[in-house]
Amino acid sequence: MKLWPVQNDRMPHPIHDPKYQVFRQMLLDARKEKGLQQVEVAECLGKTQSFVSKYERGERRLDFCEFIEVAAALEINPVEFIKRYRQHIENT
């Protein structure tokens, strides 16, 4: 019994989901709106610049806890970010 439609019996990788691409782009836009470089965000997170680069390019997914940390580093309200994300998804 399948719970959702799949192609070739394989689920597409979640990073390639168009909704996740919207999420990534919104994080990238938020960073740029704050005038921050990837390295500056990485320093706030205690991570390398490549960590930020990889989640922005979709080479790596952020889990919920990481998203909360990134939101803090970007000085954005995660609840408001999620509301904007949902509005964007619903209007697409």
Give one DSSP letter per residue of the chain, joined into a string: --SS--BTTBPPPGGG-HHHHHHHHHHHHHHHHTT--HHHHHHHHTS-HHHHHHHHHTSS---HHHHHHHHHHHT--HHHHHHHHHHHHHT-
Give the model confidence (pLDDT) of 27-44 as tens digits. 999 999 999 999 999 999
pTM of model > 0.75: yes
Give the model confidence (pLDDT) of 5-22 as tens digits. 445 556 666 777 899 999
Q: What domains, with CATH codes, occur in the chain?
A: 18-90 (1.10.260.40)
How far is residue 48's CA from residue 40's CA, in Å, rounded to a whole number? 10
